[in-house]
A = this chain, B = another copy of it.
């Protein structure tokens, strides 16, 4: 380990104040493969900076790091001060932790291990990086801040570390000032920064164009309350003019506010914009501690970017001793019929408002549209069991849905009381006898205190009836008001729910929760999140076909998404009068089971709709959702993705692809196949297929192939394909 001590004199710093500060190199390192180079710099006014190159091509120009902080009172300051005067925290001045630093030392190390995820896109993952720890302090101020850099072959990660034994053990973050000065005006695929929703369609534009395009990219939805309209969300996928793919995200977001990226369009510079709490301050920290990782992933090809595992690698190893109860799950759900409008979550129109414990559901008049009724659920159980599914999700099973959303209602659900027409004991029993489990649903209506108050009884009920997975939801404005979905306070809540669930051996799939940052490595019972615009929006106005060709670059960078694919009946008007249209083809839907990796995969459509296309449905029945190997064959963000994967259990290869509105053809070398001959069952869009006009046209063909062959595939406008190799 190299140890260098730099002490810059205060005089030198002061001398540099008048002119624009210039930077001097402090230290640097290269990635294990030698291709990436990063440098640590310090400006003449003591601001730490970093830069990143790949084979001498600039990616990140020197970019500043640091914070504006405020101390909080220590207990001794307020512990019944003898004069009856306690100083107030708002009298503490804001303090720069972005300049005035001197470098105490830099420390180098390296790391190389291979670990096995409980579930994933591959059975083992290599975690290989060089590390540089920059140790700094502000002379005479007793403030210390370190920056830990990790340089992988796939990109750079950095995080701040605040050691113990400095001026303030507790600090309040006014702003994190991490900047990413992009070396050119990258093309970016972005969604607007919103403190309460990630459910947007992407816009592709140069960084310099974002300010003018941003207003049109804002779309209302049921959760939004506050938009930061000069920023965008992470993960932000970019492509440099030289063709390099660069992605900025964060990893291991624990007890810290979620980061957005403020866009300086003129200088194509991005800066951390943390989600605030009610008072506008961004977060609370306690030393010793560190921030989440800020990542700059770099890839020569889009396909290589999709295989980047930095986010998982930057998270802590599995924290659960026993993971035997965690399993990949393929499921159906009593869900899409409500989303589309053919049924409803609620049970009655008798009540203007519901008071749990007082409202008498037993004598209420059912309105007849309640989907989670015994008969309907049994029908789904029969179909799901017959077709080899693991679980069946049922939403709207518990009382309270008559007035659940956006009423600022604290006690909105109790998570344990079924509607009169949902026999929880009998239905679980019926399902278990048929070899499947029911999947629980906990909509919190963004009343997290109420959820936490009922969490123990909710999880206990699940254990009692044999549920081992829950889909949770956070629709609406967070209670209490002033907190946002991505504030530190809520970030803390989501992980609390996952940890408490683990104690009960329950897997969690959190919808509307903060976008994932690889925490599923540490808590593999976090088997999924929504945290982006999912299939439901096909029933709320439709989604542009390119959406699923960008999500794997962005949303999936942090962990799997419960995208709920598998819609076979696209014309909703003809089914249930919904004017929205599912902009996809049947083979486009099949392709998603490969391109949208998740250990939790839904077949979202209804038994009736699948019954009309049982030959195509066969692929959904066959396709695994846990893999020993994945090969991204070709991709371009928001255009198309093609991937082949090998089932962890069955050892067979599968391949799938999706495209945007442009029909595309590919000749795919099958070199990933093992020796011998294989029978490829190919699910392809028919020549006439089109995601707007002819969605259900597909052809299933069989071909004998070897690893030396090339397979020709064609995807229709908004379509896709899927192949099973037997």
Contacts and interface: CB of A to CB of B under 8 A. Distances in A.
A286 B405 contact: no
* Central interface residue in A79, A90, A278, A409, by most chain B CB within 10 Å: A79
A172 B407 CA distance: 9
A322 to B, nearest CB: 20
A170 interface: yes
A286 B82 contact: no
A164 B220 contact: no
A90 to B, nearest CB: 8
A219 B85 CA distance: 7
A124 interface: no
Majority secondary structure, A binding face? loop
Contact of A286 (B86, B219, B355): B355
Contacts of A409: 170, 284, 286
Nearest to A283: B408
B219 A84 contact: yes
A286 B407 contact: yes
Contacts of A465: none
A693 interface: no
Contacts of A170: 353, 403, 407-409
B75 A403 contact: yes
Interface in A199-214: none
A55 interface: no
Nearest to A445: B75
Nearest to A541: B84
Contact of A352 (B287, B346, B580): B287
Interface in A575-603: 578-580
Interface stretch (A147-155, A422-430, A503-511, A532-540): A532-540
Contacts of A287: 352-353
A169 B84 contact: no
B406 A89 contact: yes
A82 B579 contact: yes
B75 A404 contact: yes
A325 interface: no
A86 B220 contact: yes
A115 interface: no
Contacts of A74: 403, 407
A346 B80 CA distance: 14
* Central interface residue in A287, A339, A402, A405, by most chain B CB within 10 Å: A405
B169 A352 contact: yes
A537 B221 contact: no
Contacts of A164: 352-353
Nearest to A492: B410
Interface stretch (A477-485, A619-627, A708-716): A477-485
A537 B81 CA distance: 10
A279 interface: yes
A345 to B, nearest CB: 8
Contacts of A75: 346, 401-407
A72 B404 CA distance: 12
A278 B481 contact: yes
A222 B281 CA distance: 21
Contacts of A85: 220
A84 B402 contact: no
Given A352-B169, A496-B453, A278 B482 contact: yes
Interface in A80-118: 80-90
A220 B540 CA distance: 54
A255 to B, nearest CB: 8
Given A353-B164, A407-B286, A481 B83 contact: no
A215 interface: no
Nearest to A221: B86
A477 B222 contact: no
A579 B483 CA distance: 43
Nearest to A277: B481
Contacts of A383: none
A186 interface: no
Contacts of A288: 353
A80 B403 contact: no
A489 interface: yes
A78 interface: yes
A408 B578 contact: no
Contacts of A277: 480-482
Interface string A518-542: 0000000000000000001101110
Nearest to A410: B492
B541 A83 contact: yes
A449 interface: yes
Given A281-B481, A483-B482, A222 B82 contact: no
Interface in A469-518: 476-477, 479-483, 487, 489, 492, 496
A573 to B, nearest CB: 11
Contacts of A537: 84
23 contacts: A73-B406, A74-B403, A75-B401, A75-B407, A78-B476, A79-B222, A80-B339, A80-B539, A82-B341, A82-B579, A83-B541, A84-B220, A87-B220, A169-B403, A170-B408, A278-B278, A279-B481, A279-B482, A286-B407, A287-B353, A288-B353, A480-B487, A481-B482
Give the 6 A-B residue pairs with the shortest CB-CB distance, closest first.
A278-B482, A482-B482, A278-B278, A169-B353, A84-B541, A75-B405
